[in-house]
Amino acid sequence: MRVAIGADHAGFELKQFLAHRLTADGYDVVDLGTHGPESVDYPEYGAAVAGKVVAGDADLGVLVCGTGIGIGIAANKVPGARVATCNDLFTARLSREHNDANVVALGSRVVGQGVAEEIVRIFLQAEFQAGRHQRRVEKIHALEAPDAVPA
């Protein structure tokens, strides 16, 4: 499985840790930056990871910023991205099983390395259950149409 990973400066250290662990576990990791602790703006990294996933250049994505919120919001602006900010194991699993999330966002100031590693593993291993959830994901996708008007 190919995993795209990215972070801003606040998430740099945790991204490095996760990329190393994923590589050791046999994942093909595509690191889209940032590549140092200097201050950067998270939208470009969120968009880069989401773009790789949506284009099919990566199967799933992992993002890290201070809270996971800003980078997740930015990445969700990429049509086709379904980014879930998950700072616990339960939401990581259900984001894949029920929402077919294709990118997980984490907060380096919210979870420690051990919990972050488990969140990512659960996210990557969980599978979309489709069934009753499929029509909801289709409705989310329909909202991306240029002429979509939310009800």
Which residues are marked as active site? Answer: 65, 98
The β-bridge partners of 105 are 63, 85
Tell me which residue of 80, 72, 60 sits closest to 7, measured CA to CA: 72
Q: How far apart are CA 39 and CA 10, in angstroms?
A: 8
11's enclosing H/E stretch is none
Instruction: Take residue 6 and report the two structure tokens written for it.
Output: 């990215």
Lay out the sheet containing 60-65: strands in order across: 28-31, 2-7, 60-65, 103-107, 83-85
Q: How far apart are CA 77 and CA 130, in angstroms?
A: 23
Instruction: Take residue 118 and report the two structure tokens written for it.
Output: 């488990």
